[in-house]
Amino acid sequence: MKPEKIIVIGAGIVGVSAAIWLRRAGCDVTLLDRSAPGHGTSFGNAGVLAACSMVPVTMPGLVLKGPKLLLDPNFPLFMRWSYLPKIAPWLIRYLSHANDRDTRRIANGLTSIVADSVEQHESLCDGSPASRFIQKSDYTFAYASRADFDAEAYIWALREAAGFIPDLIEGDAVREFEPAFDDTTKLLAVMRDHGFILDPGGYVAALAETFVDMGGQLITAEVRDFDLSGGRIRAVLTDDGPLACDKAVLSTGVWSKPLMAKLGLNVPLETERGYHVLFKEPAFAPKSPVMVAAGKFVATPMAMGLRCAGVLEFGGLEAGPSKAPLDLLKRQVKTTFPRLVYSGTDEWLGHRPAPADSLPLIGEIAATGVFPAFGHHHIGLTGGPKTGRLVAGLVTGNASNLDLAPYDPNRFR
């Protein structure tokens, strides 16, 4: 029997993962992107395989605290005010989930995607050259005081309910465990059995090479539309002509929204503009990724230097980088690591895909043969391999026993 011809649109971590799992299932797979694999949002993340990161931003109390935080120049949340009228409908829907019931529901849904992240990445690589980028490690949360840790009791209770309980290190033991900190950090909450990627962009590129070595085809082109003759996909229409297929996976992150509209779904999806600063040749770095609670940024020791990623800005896809978020991130790094010296910096802005209900889209659109797999906010690298595996199973008719109803893309019909 002739194998099904599948087109995977988007060569970030989700798309590359789906393409590899589909090839393993014997499908004829083409991976399609307008740029090289790993050059988009998958390039610039914090690199953490954050298995315990299932708590959404929309927690109880955000509606009251949000406006104050937006106006605080020292809090890592920014708004390009000219963009507010456009984002307002999405923001209203987003904030409507900032209650205990929805927070717990969303956390349960995200747990299924991220909790086994390290194992999923290892299974994806399966001894390929890409496995050299995976580093098993702790994931540490740094606090200025026990009171600051206790103030996040709600978050830690949700993590504990998902099976993630930290080891607490306090006082002088903080410096013994992690010499990168000075005495302003009084408590570490250490999550064991996590990991990080030494070079996220290089990792995704290596996975794409593995896919090609498996017999997959990689094409550079931009998707314009779909041929849905008879209500089912026949071809993906690109700027270089149509590409016939039996089924398609759509995993282009925040850029999926206009393509979903062509398929009849108006997905409430916005970009969370995320920034990082890479400190080249640092004099020191933490031995594993650290989430600095006071600054809401993650410091990760990578192959190219110390990458500090964080800060959230709402401002759309078109505008370039803003100065204020980058300046704040640099100040926060200096406050946290006052002894840090380095040879130079690189700055980056990327776009995290944020559905209004904080849950990714994984499933088939009606019976069209088109399978969305996107919408992971800040956990795309963490949950990418699991998502790719799940959507590949749906495409091939070997669905997981996991309840996929929370991610059903038809919820936006």
CATH code of 15's domain:
3.50.50.60
How far is it, in rounded angstroms, from Cα 178 to Cα 174? 6
Share of the chain above pLDDT 70, in %: 100
Give the residue numbers spanning the domain of 396.
5-43+202-266+358-412
1 pLDDT above the threshold of 80: no
**Same domain, yes or no, for 188 and 222?**
no
**Same domain, yes or no, for 262 and 282?**
no
168: in domain: yes
Longest dimension (CA), the chain: 69
User: Among 83, 135, 126, which residue's Cα sits nearest to residue 302?
Assistant: 135
- What is the mean predicted confidence (pLDDT) over 273-284? 97
378: in domain: yes
* Alpha helix ranges (H) inside 219-317: 256-262
**Same domain, yes or no, for 182 and 87?**
yes
How far is it, in rounded angstroms, from Cα 302 to Cα 54? 24
**Same domain, yes or no, for 369 and 389?**
yes
22: in domain: yes
119: in domain: no
10: in domain: yes
Q: What does the DSSP 8-state code read for residue 318?
A: T
**Same domain, yes or no, for 76 and 217?**
no
Q: In this structure, what are the phi and psi dihedrals at residue 121, rounded to the nearest 5 degrees?
A: -65, -40
pLDDT digits (tens, 9 = 90+) for 80-92: 999 999 999 999 9
- CA-to-CA separations, 174 to 139, 178, 293, 332, 352, in angstroms, rounded: 14, 6, 15, 19, 33
Q: Which residue has the tokens 């033991």?
A: 173
**Same domain, yes or no, for 66 and 149?**
yes
Q: What CATH number did the domain enclosing 161 receive?
A: 3.30.9.10
**Same domain, yes or no, for 293 and 176?**
yes
24: in domain: yes
**Same domain, yes or no, for 365 and 406?**
yes
Q: Which residue has the tokens 């953490």?
A: 48
126: in domain: no
Domain count, the chain: 2
Most confident range (mean pLDDT) of 2-6, 35-39, 46-50, 294-298 is 46-50
121: in domain: no
The predicted model scores a pTM of 0.96
Asked which of 340, 355, 370 is the last residue of a domain, the reply is 355
**Same domain, yes or no, for 228 and 332?**
no
**Same domain, yes or no, for 141 and 175?**
yes
C-alpha 338, offset from chain centre: 29
208 pLDDT above the threshold of 80: yes
Asked which of 336, 355, 374 is the last residue of a domain, the reply is 355
344 pLDDT above the threshold of 90: yes
**Same domain, yes or no, for 93 and 210?**
no
pLDDT, residue 70, reads: 83
**Same domain, yes or no, for 346 and 276?**
yes
Asked which of 306, 334, 355 is the last residue of a domain, the reply is 355
